[in-house]
Amino acid sequence: MLIMLEQTVKRILEAKVYDVAQETPLSPAPFLSSRLGQEVWLKREDLQPIFSFKVRGAYNMMANLSPAARQCGVITASAGNHAQGVALAAAKLGIKATIVMGTNTPDIKIRAVRARGAQVVLQGDSFDEARTYAERRMREEGLTWVPPYDHPLVIAGQGTVGMELLRQHPGPLDAIFVPVGGGGLLAGIAAYVKYLRPEIKVIGVESEGSACFAAARRAGRRVRLPFESLDLFADGVAVAQMGEHTWKLARRYVDDVVTVSTDEICAAIKDVFEDTRSLAEPAGALALAGLKKWAESAPPGQRLIAIHSGANVNFDRLRHVAERAEVGEAREAILSVTLPERPGAFRRFAKVLGKRAVTEFNYRYAQAGSAQVFVGLKTAERSDRPALVAQLQGAGYPVADLTDNEMAKVHVRHLVGGHRAEQIPEYLFRFEFPERPGALGQFLGVLGTRFNISLFHYRNHGAAWGRVLVAFQASERDRKALLAALHATGYRFWEESHNPAYEAFLA
């Protein structure tokens, strides 16, 4: 392993990245430092020409291609930052580049790649479909594959981030937090830092819904997560399996891994904005979300760096981010509360709350004598939520805590106001639809006319996947056929028929 470490560090020192990349600043985060009681810095990779660190690895590999390989051209599959990195590198080096992207890729990303002169081919709905097509083109046309993370030269290019930050912060440093997708950035930084400054902790950060590195550490080997379990919110790191080269380095030289939720990522995006006035994409703020979570149990005064890895966020996604940031910062609790249906009930409820601010209040008459309320309440910190629930229960109110209920936060809060007819059996499912023309038509075409849709809620979050809540009327004996039809759509789905938010407000 020492030989591999030395080879990686040598490649980092020799990396050809600065023809297109720039040394990005290491910026202090004063507001967050004060709040956490730690010294926090952000490595600003969002300031690269493509607003992401990915240009480093792509350019380093392509700059080292033989003249023959350059003449043939390169190909890759990507819907995001790697695609832009390959396109920029190809334009600089005079190499023909083909980028295969899913048909549901947002237009802003397609335009950004085409603007740099690369040929864009739209194929499939998922990364796996796009990659399969690209690999076939690679074999048939003799093109060179440019991987997003799993190649020694790509790892070395990304590792120059670690080289820069040690030069920029030569003093004592406790930990560096690095976002993890396929592991190229993590492996490169860990190799360089551990070779020169082994006392510094290198900590990977993953989204809870795509934690392939954490799964690999538990198993002691690379693990492939099932696609249907991947959370695509932080799409830049939604990877099912860590790379082979990246795993060999990361398993040896990374000290720990932290997993964070969607809400915690949204809160970190807000923190980045408040300290830098820049907008991080979800994957870009991932490391900071992990830093904050780790710092909760760390002694004060730690010197910590988070890699702000990218800012390629679609503007439409900011609605969703703003909605979830308060929960992620533990500054809001989402509750379902049953109130008696009588004059003065709301006034008494407000009196029980005291001076606590109400952020949202959705009322629905439930049944004779009672009303169901979907309410958001300001909280001071994470430990305040159980005390709030206990306070309301002590005052005689039945309460269900929905703060961690994904369906409630994405869909139900926008649907409070209607119940199904009690005599009609109904099954509820949450789907992720590809954001492309015809996706709904394909869905309905596969289902046919056998099952009536009794509820439908769709929200566009500015991502490649839309989130859809659908209820079907079906008898118990037709349930098996319904599930078979839903599987035949090819879309990811989760049943929510017994979700407490559904039972309280929609059932």
Active site residues: 54, 309
Best CA proximity match to 183, nearest among 320, 57, 280: 57
Best CA proximity match to 78, nearest among 128, 22, 24: 128
Question: What's the token pair of residue 356?
Answer: 């606590």
Question: What's the token pair of residue 133?
Answer: 């097509």
DSSP string computed for 472-502: EE--GGGHHHHHHHHHHT--EEEE-TT-HHH
DSSP string computed for 60-71: HHHHTS-HHHHH
| CB-based burial label for 140 (10 Å; 0-12, 13-18, 19+) | exposed
Best CA proximity match to 153, nearest among 189, 193, 188: 188
Question: What's the token pair of residue 245?
Answer: 């080269």
DSSP class of 470 = E
DSSP class of 291 = H
Cβ(21)–Cβ(50) under 8 Å?
no
Cβ(116)–Cβ(99) under 8 Å?
no
Best CA proximity match to 177, nearest among 49, 301, 284: 284
Best CA proximity match to 264, nearest among 186, 341, 340, 207: 207
CA 185 to chain CA mean position, Å: 16
Q: Rounded to whole angstroms, what are the CA distances from 54 to 60, 181, 284, 310? A: 10, 12, 11, 9
> Cβ atoms within 10 A of the Cβ of 273, count?
16
Cβ(159)–Cβ(249) under 8 Å?
no
DSSP string computed for 403-441: TT-HHHHHTGGGT-S----TTS-EEEEEEEEESSTTHHH
Starting at the earlier edge strand, list the strands of the sheet with 175-179. Answer: 26-28, 39-44, 303-308, 175-179, 201-207, 256-260
Give the dihedral sign, CA 86/91/95/98.
positive
Q: Rounded to whole angstroms, what are the CA distances from 271 to 188, 246, 274, 309, 427? A: 26, 29, 5, 15, 39
